[in-house]
Structures are given as structure tokens and as C-alpha cells.
Structure 1
Amino acid sequence: MTKLIIIIILAVTGLVFGPVLAGNKGYVLIALGTHTIEMTAVVFGFLVLLGILSIWLTEWLLKRTINATRSARELISGRRRRQSRKFTRSGLLALMSGEWANAEKLMTKGAKGSALPVINYLGAAEAAQAQQQVDRRDHYLQLAHKKQGDNPLAVSLTQARLQIQQGQKEQALATLSTIQKEHPDNPHAVMLLKDLYLQLEDWANLLDLITPLKQSKRLTADELASLELTAHQGYFSQLSSHQGAKGLATHWEGLSRKLKQEPALVTSYVKQMLALGEDEAMQPLVIKTLRKQIVPELLAMVTELKGDAESLLLEAKHWLKGQSENPLLLSVLGQLSLRAGRIEDAKTYLEKSLRISPSAEAHAALAEVFAQNQQPQEAFKQYRQSLALATPATKAI
């Protein structure tokens, strides 16, 4: 605009002073080496004005051409973006509908022209895995890594999750280990590690993960308690196999007082120790726990204790308070009475237990009672009933 005003001023000046200059034409000499150009001042002025107009016109045409090109490029780019958004929306809907092949096709199409192609490639990876096309999934994940921009964590987390779902435990562990080094407090990574450790039955590492899981606030208090209990129970089993009673006892002593009072955990610990022949060491813990609460699984283990039958029987009778109709307790009392040589008491307890709820153990113990009373037919009958309860029924083919 400024240039145009200057040109108009020059043109007006020429029109005003042109006639004056016409009477006094002046003289302009331009020398270029051995060549010279001569002209009047008026002609020189018009040439200068013409040159300025030519430059302005050229600049104007160039700007119009550039603007037209930019507009065309933006139009094409805008059309591509609109198509990309359309493909992406349709692909996400197909992904949510379980139309895996269509979702993969649409998400890859939508990646072209997308402002955030990483989303498309991650969606395509999900769809490919759902079709068991692991190679294609990995290809899309590689493309997502290249397009991840400022958020590489999202791609790595998705990769780890897909690897876990596919059962690629070692690969998932490597991916999550890398994430943990760079983002140790990421709650989603912690939850994925929890799922992976459960699959691997890596109870030691799962126990170490309990505190980060609490901090993540992704699980309820009940879920955390259940998970910790499961981890300890699994760890007991591993310790029993690899470190024996000493390893089990050491781990047990290191537990908090609260955990040591957890009935299910006590039961699991006692079970493993009894399997290792540590019944004498377990008897005080079993009795202490059952005095506070009748835990069925733990109560059933009382008959496995090899302590004095009379002492155990006397202790078990105290548990009858409020539990006089408990068939399991009555069965245990019957079996302990049998061990102590109190045959009639055993018969009374066992028959009452069976009237309330039949069990293989009570029938077997009662069979022994009849055998000692020289009643073979009754003993045989009880053995058969015990066997029938102990053996799952099978259908004839």
C-alpha cells in the first residue's frame, strides 16, 4: 500500500512538473565502460517510473501466486485432515465393536494426514493382536514409536499391555523394566507389573510391589489385602520347595503382627509346615488361633498334629462353646477321641457330626470305631460311604 502511494505521488509530481521540464529538457548521460547512453531528463524520469511500476507489478503477481498455492495446499491438507478424522472415528467405533479387520484398515488409513498418527497406529496394533497377527502388531508399534512425539510412555505402556495379553511374559517384563527405570511411580505401569507377576507367579516381586500399589490408589483396601494374602500364600509354597522349614519360619517371623493374625495366612503357613513334618512346632500356633476363631481349614488340620491326643481332646472340647452343632468340630472331636482310646465318645461325636453333615473323614473314623467294636458289617458300610464321598461321581459312558 505504501509503495502504491509513493508511485501515485511520483506520477502526480511528473504531471505537475512535466510541462516545465518539457521547456527545459535537461540532459542525462550514463557511461558503461566504452558505451554511453544519452537521454533527456524527462525520458529518464519516465523510465524510472516505469521500472518502479514493473517491480511493484511483479511483486504483486508473485504474492498472488504464492497465496494461491498456499490456499490450494491448505485446501488439500484440510481435505486430508477431514478424511483422516473420518477414518479414525470409524476405526475407533470398529475397534470398540470388535470388528478387528475393519478397525485395522481404517486406523491405518486414518494415520495419513492425522495430527496425532500415534493414536492410529496404537489402535491398529490392538486390532492386529486381536486377530493373532503379532508381526503386524509389532510393525504398528514400531511406527507408533517413530511418531510418539513428546509422550513415549503411552506407546511403551500399550506395548507392555499387549505383550501381557498375548502371553509374551519375558518381552513384557523387559518393556516394563525399562519403563520403571524412567518412570518408577507411574501407576499404570505398576498395575501392569502386578498382572505380569501374577501370571509369572513371581510372589517375591509381587510382595515388593505392594507399597507402590498402595501409592497408586488403583486398588481398594480389600483388593490390596486380598492380593497381599495371595502373594504371601504363593511365597510360602515356593519357600517350602526351595528353602524348607527354615526359610518358611524366617519369612513368617518377618511378617507384621497384623498379618500373623490373618486366619487364611496362618492356615497357609501351618499347611506348608505340616507338609514338612513340623507339626510339633505348629501346635501352639494352631491352638492359639483356634481359641480366638474357629477357622474351618485350620480346624481340619488338628487331626494331623501328632501331639498328645488327650491334651488335644481337652483343648478341642473348649471350642464347643457356641459351636456344639459344628459338624467339622464334632468330627475332629470324634477322631481325637478315637486316638485317645475313648471309643464310645468317638462314636457319639461322629454320629452327631454325620447327622448334621456327612463327610468322608467322619465316615472313615466311624468305620474304625465299628471295627474296634467288632462290628465288621457296620464298619464296611461306613467305609463304602466314606469312599463314595471322597471319590467324585463319574457318569457311565
Structure 2
Amino acid sequence: MLKTLIIFLILIAGLIVGPMIAGHQGIAFFQLAGYRIKMSFTTFLVLEAILFVVLYLIYWLIKKITGTSSLLGRWMRLVSPKRSTKRLEIANLMMLEGNYKKAQKLYTQGAKYSHNIAVTYLQAVRAALNNNDITSAYQLLEKAAPHCQDKERFAFQLTQIRIEVQNNEVTTARYHIEQLLDDHPRNNELLKMADKVYCQLQDYQAAIGLFPSMYKAATYTEQYLDQHKQAVYLARIQQLANNNDVNALYNWWKDQPRAVRNTVAYQKEMAVHLATQGKQDEAQKLLNQLAKNQKIAE
């Protein structure tokens, strides 16, 4: 719009200066409802330029107040909705092709004129994250914030957490995750990020608490969940054993579900740590139970 204004003013200046140099400014004559208005052509052009500047200032104020582009803005900028739609289609294609930098640029350019500004900015954030551009991701998230309606709020929050997780802001990410888990206990994206954050923080007990929801929501394949669950439980047992508090370890073990206490891998690990830390009787009971279960299995 500013470029258009400058070009228009240059043209007006040319039309004013030209006749003045030639020594003949011309006449502008208007007749309306019995009124006659007569002025020099130069004066008419000056008034027209002033009117155009006033219109531009009004447009600028409207844009600042609303924070978005209105129909007036589209008209004055000569922005075509079809052009914006085409730009977003190309951005989607760039995402699929892995050209994340180009996709981010196109999403950003098309956001103001898209049907859903917030979602388009969030798509730009995803492209920036895929390109590992954390700074741009945060900047685009800020642009999306004023346009988020209630229906987009959860997507906005998930996107914010994705940035935090990718930027290793695990403590902040955990805080935001736990604000959402009660309302969205089976959202796969949230569960995946929660699991990753808890494991990074070595809060294996919190990670264990996610497994019922992850199984119900089929967050991963059952085979992967079984393997991951075993790794997390073994890490928790090792963590408790490292604290050199054998009673805490044993009490934790007794509080676990029967299915966990009957798992061979956990029984072996517990028996080793109990024996090492002086609970020989409890360790022997586990070994006896393990032998009994193996005979039954045979």
C-alpha cells in the first residue's frame, strides 16, 4: 500500500509540475445540483492527493486497531483470495517435499489473508520446527496468539509445547503438559510429548503413570509399548536401587500391580538389588516365585 501511495504522489507531482512549467495549469470545472465549482487543475490534483493520503491514514488506523486485514485492506492492497489460496497450496506441497524453509515463508505470507489466520501461522511454526528454527517458531507463535479462537486454543498449546520440547525446555514443557493432561488424557500428541519429557527428566514414575492411557489411545504399537514399558520399569527399579534405600525399593515393589510383580524381567532385577542391599529373604522369595512361574510355563 505504501508503494502505491508513493507512486501515486509521484504521478500527481508530475501532473502538477508539468503544466506549471508549460505556463498553463488548466481548469477543473464541476457542476452538481446547481452548484458550480471552478478551480485550477493543479489545485484539483493537490486536493486529490490530500484525499488519497487521508484514505491511507484511515486504512492504517483500521489495520492497527483490528490487528488484521479487513475487506478494506484487501481492496486497498489488491490482494486476491485466490492468490492467497494458491500460496497456501504450494506451502502444503513444500512441506510434503521437505522444503520447510520455503513452506514457512509461504505460510507466513499467506496467513493474513487465509480463511483461518491462526491455523496458518501454526502451520508456519511446524515448518520452522522441521527446519530447526526455534527463534522463528516462537515469533510465529506470537503472531498466531491474537487470532486464536477457543476451537484453536488446544492446537496452539500443543504447538507451544512442541517448541519447548524441541528446544529442551523440559521443565517448562512439563508444566504446560500437566495443565492439559486432565482435559485431554488420551491425546496421542500430548502423551508422546509427556512420555518424552518425563524420560528426559528421569521421572520414570510419572512415565509409568502414562502407560494405561497410551495403551488405551494406541499411542504406539502394542509391541513398542511393551518394550518401552519394560525399559521404563527397569529404569525405575535401578533408580530406586541407586538411592540405597532398600525399604523404599521393596515398598514400591509391593505397591505395583500383580501383572508387574509377575513379570520375569522385573523379578530378576528386583532379586538382584534386594540381595545386594541385604534383603536376602525377600530376594530368595522372588527367585522361588520366578522358578515356580517358569515351571508352570513349561
Deviation, structure 1 residue 169: 1.0
In 1, distance between residues paired with 2:146 and 2:191?
A: 25
In 1, distance between residues paired with 2:275 and 2:252?
A: 16
| Alignment-derived partner of residue 119 in structure 2 | 119
Percent identity between matched residues is 21
Deviation, structure 1 residue 78: 9.1
When normalised by structure 2's length, the TM-score is: 0.65
In 1, distance between residues paired with 2:73 and 2:285?
A: 85
Deviation, structure 1 residue 75: 7.4
Letter in 2 for 1:268: E
Does structure 1 conserve the Cα–Cα contact (< 8 Å) formed by 2:208 and 2:232? yes
Letter in 2 for 1:82: K
Deviation, structure 1 residue 233: 1.5
Does structure 1 conserve the Cα–Cα contact (< 8 Å) formed by 2:204 and 2:232? yes
In 2, distance between residues paired with 1:249 and 1:184?
A: 30
Unaligned runs of 5+ in 1: 1-50, 52-70, 295-321, 323-397
In 2, distance between residues paired with 1:120 and 1:223?
A: 33
Deviation, structure 1 residue 249: 1.0
In 1, distance between residues paired with 2:230 and 2:107?
A: 43
Does structure 2 conserve the Cα–Cα contact (< 8 Å) formed by 1:122 and 1:155? yes
In 1, distance between residues paired with 2:288 and 2:267?
A: 11
What does 1:213-362 align with in structure 2 at a 5 Å threshold? 213-242=214-243, 244-293=245-294
Letter in 2 for 1:226: Q
Deviation sequence 1:292-341 (CA, Å, 0-9, x none): 439xxxxxxxxxxxxxxxxxxxxxxxxxxx9xxxxxxxxxxxxxxxxxxx
In 1, distance between residues paired with 2:289 and 2:182?
A: 45
Deviation, structure 1 residue 108: 0.7
What does 1:46-65 align with in structure 2 at a 5 Å threshold? none
When normalised by structure 1's length, the TM-score is: 0.50
State the secondary structure of the residue aligned to 1:293.
Answer: helix
Does structure 1 conserve the Cα–Cα contact (< 8 Å) formed by 2:134 and 2:163? no
Matched length: 226
Deviation, structure 1 residue 173: 1.2
Letter in 2 for 1:134: I
| Alignment-derived partner of residue 174 in structure 1 | 175
Deviation sequence 1:184-218 (CA, Å, 0-9, x none): 55443233212222222211111222233234343
In 2, distance between residues paired with 1:211 and 1:249?
A: 23
Does structure 2 conserve the Cα–Cα contact (< 8 Å) formed by 1:77 and 1:113? no
State the secondary structure of the residue aligned to 2:149.
Answer: coil
Does structure 2 conserve the Cα–Cα contact (< 8 Å) formed by 1:176 and 1:193? yes
State the secondary structure of the residue aligned to 2:181.
Answer: helix
| Alignment-derived partner of residue 87 in structure 1 | 87
Letter in 1 for 2:260: L
State the secondary structure of the residue aligned to 2:80.
Answer: helix
Deviation sequence 1:62-110 (CA, Å, 0-9, x none): xxxxxxxxx9998789953212111111112222222222122111111
Deviation, structure 1 residue 182: 4.9
Does structure 1 conserve the Cα–Cα contact (< 8 Å) formed by 2:122 and 2:140? yes
Deviation sequence 1:158-195 (CA, Å, 0-9, x none): 22123223322122112212323554554432332122
Return the structure number with greater relative CO, CA threshold 8 A, min gap 6: 2
In terms of Rg, which structure is larger? Answer: 1
| Alignment-derived partner of residue 24 in structure 2 | none
Does structure 2 conserve the Cα–Cα contact (< 8 Å) formed by 1:86 and 1:110? no
| Alignment-derived partner of residue 200 in structure 1 | 201
Could you say what the CA RMSD is over the residues aligned between the two structures, in angstroms?
Answer: 3.0
Does structure 1 conserve the Cα–Cα contact (< 8 Å) formed by 2:118 and 2:148? yes
Deviation, structure 1 residue 221: 4.0
